[in-house]
Structure 1
């Protein structure tokens, strides 16, 4: 089946209501959240139904959508209450639910007809016949397995009209499609039911036993062994994703900060818009990748899209690149006459430091902090207290929900 080139959705994570609003303000067409049951992020700031209602209202007012991840692998007894859960999601206006377990999918169709279902990446959809199978079951979108190559995506796009969603940025699980039991054995926490302890990212010594003698293969001056994968980033390859027919470009990170969510959503928004508005004259802007490095937690790669990952895509040995910025403050108000901004502190910073402001659709600017006042108008050298209100003069106009970061 041939596909018409269309602008894909930028889909951002939202671990709580604040992150939902920030993601949408910074360019996301849709967000995915977790409820208080049936998801894989039990430690995220998961939404109550009342919070979902607030999030849906905000999203729909801004022409954005909200999806709920209910992608756990259900064991005996885990499906209890699922029908009521899905019905409530439908009735409060959730745009779709993301599910991997066939039992939960069946319950959703039976008890909440009319609620669109998307297949989670946990289900490992890797070929077009799989997408056609799920289409016959009533699903309208499939989140592709992270192990799918770009060539396979192109083939899938040519042979089916099922909507395709693919991860383009964020953490990568070291196991196949996230199906891992390492956390179960190491910490008695089930990764497939929302309790992953990320045991793969722990630091380990590596031993060899020879003739009954145990020898540590990790030298004292080397980093301990880790099974951790580097992060995914497809910012350089947005044209390939669009041309392959991917309908939704998914950013990982419901546990990440608003600094991360705002930056990554904004960067991919700019790249997608630039390509789709003028494909023939599109030029990748290196500043986009530089921007992503300001919030990156690990090194970046293209995952499985163009080759089988090697040891170079694994975090082992000395770090090859380290992010240089930390989230410092959020703009609350700005006085155009005095050119003074009121900020809410999010990280310690002080006079003499170089900082950077950025906002929705604004690439930002840098300046040096010259003077600070606390909420009582007293001049201070530093803003050391979390969430404290401060004022400072800024070189250019800023707006509420602009963010400030500083070099580490």
Structure 2
């Protein structure tokens, strides 16, 4: 069982490693999307060094859909990541994968194309192109994920905690909105609201990569971890893009404790679910997204 956690800084990275994370997920502009904090190459090198000193690993996000200018910049970036000893890059753009292959670097890649990763056959195609594994779409059900993993030797990474991105645009939508309305953009977290649901809050933020809109709730599969292990899904990602600082570290530590309980045969799903609920911010309800639905109800 592997725990993967996003990291927003060197300080948080060290705390996450101490909390039980096996692999850190980091990255920077203009190649990595939806990161809790973009890191410079120097910061990425520092995180990799600290992780390796602890016998842990680092995956660097290169999951953007890349335009000509980004592709032109990519070889130097990938070369530096290889020089730093990055353990893998998460990448989904076929042009970026071709660039990586042409460079012939000792830099494995995990196939990460967001909503496109929906079948074992698609993953198998990219495994034949050199992928060491794949990140499953968040819109799949556990039944579908179990069936996928049974067909594959490579690990299928599943998000077990954190928000789901439901819209990504390369355009500065917030900037355009406030420019058009002549209003001053507030210096705080912004939300969209469903006019039919006064309690809904869809976090929206803009950065150098564009505009990102997230789900109203955070995914949590802490109660289903035992079932996932029984079906071969043992690569778990925790995403802290909307949850910063020590609270996210404590949640990662709880998932590590759940993992150790499973290994010891002492896992009580309800207990861990209740403890996670106490750590969760009040304005972000927990849910299981599509995971517990029947595939027929989703398609």
| Structure-1-length-normalised TM-score | 0.61
Partner of 1:25: 18
Separation in 2, partners of 1:53, 1:126: 33
Partner of 1:157: 149
Q: 2:135 aligns with which of 119, 135, 143?
A: 143
C-alpha offsets along residues 288-316 of structure 1, whole Å, 9 cap, x if unaligned? 5324432335111111111169xxxxxxx
Separation in 1, partners of 2:150, 2:201: 42
Mapped contact 2:8–2:38 kept (Cα < 8 A): yes
Are residues 169 and 156 of structure 1, via their aligned partners in 2, closer, same or farther at CA, if it must alter by over 3 Å? same
Separation in 2, partners of 1:105, 1:246: 25
Moved more, 87-96 or 290-299: 290-299
Mapped contact 2:258–2:267 kept (Cα < 8 A): no
Q: What's the Cα RMSD here?
A: 2.7
Runs of 4+ in 1 over 6 A off after TM superposition: none
Q: 1:126 aligns with which of 118, 121, 126?
A: 118
C-alpha offsets along residues 311-334 of structure 1, whole Å, 9 cap, x if unaligned? xxxxxxxxxxxxxxxxxxxxxxxx
Separation in 2, partners of 1:174, 1:45: 19
Question: C-alpha displacement at 1:268, in angstroms?
Answer: 0.5
**Higher-RCO chain (CA-CA 8 Å, sequence separation at least 6):** 2
Residue 292 of structure 2 aligns to a residue whose secondary structure is coil
C-alpha offsets along residues 330-381 of structure 1, whole Å, 9 cap, x if unaligned? xxxxxxxxxxxxxxxxxxxxxxxxxxxxxxxxxxxxxxxxxxxxxxxxxxxx
Partner of 2:193: 203
Partner of 1:295: 280
Residue 232 of structure 1 aligns to a residue whose secondary structure is strand
Instruction: Give the number of the structure whose alpha-carbon radius of gyration is greater.
Output: 1
Q: 1:14 aligns with which of 7, 21, 28?
A: 7
Q: 2:34 aligns with which of 27, 31, 41?
A: 41
Moved more, 21-30 or 239-248: 239-248
Residue 252 of structure 2 aligns to a residue whose secondary structure is helix
Question: C-alpha displacement at 1:228, in angstroms?
Answer: 4.0
C-alpha offsets along residues 181-227 of structure 1, whole Å, 9 cap, x if unaligned? 496555459xxxxxxxxx993236x4xxxxxxxxxx78xxx547858
Question: C-alpha displacement at 1:154, in angstroms?
Answer: 1.3
Mapped contact 1:10–1:250 kept (Cα < 8 A): yes
Partner of 1:350: none
Q: 1:240 aligns with which of 227, 232, 250?
A: 227
C-alpha offsets along residues 50-94 of structure 1, whole Å, 9 cap, x if unaligned? 222221121112121111111111123221210110111011111
Are residues 60 and 228 of structure 1, via their aligned partners in 2, closer, same or farther at CA, if it must alter by over 3 Å? closer
- Aligned 1:58-207 pairs, distance under 5 A: 58-122=50-114, 124-175=116-167, 180-181=168-169, 185=173, 187-188=175-176, 201-203=191-193, 206=195
- Aligned 1:249-264 pairs, distance under 5 A: 249-264=236-251
Question: C-alpha displacement at 1:275, in angstroms?
Answer: 0.6
C-alpha offsets along residues 91-114 of structure 1, whole Å, 9 cap, x if unaligned? 111110011111111111212521
- Number of matched pairs: 272
Question: C-alpha displacement at 1:244, in angstroms?
Answer: 2.1
Are residues 23 and 36 of structure 1, via their aligned partners in 2, closer, same or farther at CA, if it must alter by over 3 Å? same
Mapped contact 1:15–1:256 kept (Cα < 8 A): no
Mapped contact 2:117–2:137 kept (Cα < 8 A): yes
Are residues 132 and 286 of structure 1, via their aligned partners in 2, closer, same or farther at CA, if it must alter by over 3 Å? same
Question: C-alpha displacement at 1:231, in angstroms?
Answer: 1.2
Partner of 1:283: 268
Partner of 1:367: none
| Structure-2-length-normalised TM-score | 0.82
Residue 131 of structure 2 aligns to a residue whose secondary structure is coil
Mapped contact 1:231–1:300 kept (Cα < 8 A): yes
In terms of fraction of residues, the more helix-rich structure is 2
Partner of 2:49: 57
Are residues 291 and 186 of structure 1, via their aligned partners in 2, closer, same or farther at CA, if it must alter by over 3 Å? closer
